[in-house]
Homo-oligomer: A and B are copies of this chain.
């Protein structure tokens, strides 16, 4: 596949990630004349896109587009080639087999298909109508981290788009893990902080302005659902990595501060090279020159993951800081990056 545009559809446009995904697609050069088909599962009537996502008004096509009730027949009539799912986990687990069966490739933004091992997946409490088929589909699902799995993504039928926290941590650690530079006996500490949009659009006590504003809190200390992604993608066991998320009083953005002990003393130059070389061809990762460190303000509303590090004077302890926008590189932009690879568009098209 290598053409000027393809037909894509988005199921689930009312949440934050779905809204950002639509924004990116409307602004994407390849869809200037071929806007995505927008689908919803609630209600039996079409509704104006801008009634669900008023901030999109003014973007190309936005004021004419409707979100129409989901219908498999419609997808096939429209010739949809790639379907984005910005739906709850359970819904994604149910819809993906049908989509694949219908010959439609899927980029799933939920956590339903990210985890290869059933034990890791248990946190999602998923059930499958046809467990054998689901298991087979799971085994071919590609974890949608373009920096790690670009070749498989290009031809994948099912791409499981990574979690936001997981993306920030995996991109920070992958270069070091692949080069065997970390002393894993000492354990890796990942102290991560996320803006409130990561908690979703549903009004809850924890997303109330009065709870989140002027506050900081840790949560899910030994049990966050993204932990399984870290273990599988970095090939670690649970005792080797500790991940603690915190809720920041800001709308969006993640900053992860990651602490590792090196297997043997390193130099700033060798560490810098490790990151620089690993991401030499990665258009959506920016590696800072040590001692410069990323900040949330420089990645918010961008599709980049920014990485930086500092090394202790004895060369043994490394502190890595990783920043991204949880709704973009942590969700919608990464989905578009995967689509670009699947459709043989330039990897960063529509993302800068």
Contact = CB atoms under 8 A, between A and B. Distances in A.
Interface of A: 16, 54-55, 57-60, 186-187, 189, 191, 193, 196-197, 201, 203-205, 207-219, 221-222, 239, 242, 244, 246, 248-251, 253, 255, 257, 259, 261, 286, 291, 293, 295-298, 300-302, 304, 310, 312-314, 316-317, 319, 321, 352
A187 B141 CA distance: 38
A210 B186 contact: no
A37 to B, nearest CB: 22
A51 B310 CA distance: 20
16 contacts: A189-B189, A191-B191, A191-B259, A193-B216, A201-B210, A207-B208, A207-B210, A209-B209, A211-B297, A213-B250, A217-B255, A221-B319, A222-B319, A239-B312, A239-B317, A249-B250
Given A248-B248, A249-B249, 14 more contacts: A55-B297, A57-B298, A58-B302, A59-B352, A197-B210, A208-B209, A209-B209, A209-B212, A209-B251, A213-B213, A214-B253, A216-B295, A239-B317, A301-B301
A61 to B, nearest CB: 11
Contacts of A319: 218, 221-222, 242, 244
A331 to B, nearest CB: 14
Given A58-B304, A193-B193, A218 B250 contact: no
Q: Which of A54, A58, A246, A312 has the most CB of B within 10 A?
A: A58
Contacts of A244: 257, 259, 319
Contact of A317 (B242, B250, B301): B242
A300 B208 CA distance: 18
A248 B216 contact: yes
A252 to B, nearest CB: 8
Closest 4 CB pairs of A and B: A203-B203, A191-B191, A217-B295, A215-B297
Contacts of A221: 291, 293, 310, 319
Given A239-B314, A242-B259, A251-B209, A58 B218 contact: no
Contacts of A57: 286, 298
A205 B207 CA distance: 10
A218 B221 CA distance: 21
A210 B251 contact: yes
Contacts of A242: 259, 312, 317, 319
Contact of A257 (B208, B246, B300, B313): B246
B257 A218 contact: yes
Contact of A60 (B197, B208, B352): B352
A316 B215 contact: no
B286 A58 contact: yes
A255 B57 CA distance: 18
A221 B321 CA distance: 10
A300 B214 contact: yes
A244 B192 CA distance: 13
A288 to B, nearest CB: 10
A263 to B, nearest CB: 15
Contacts of A317: 187, 239, 242
A72 to B, nearest CB: 31
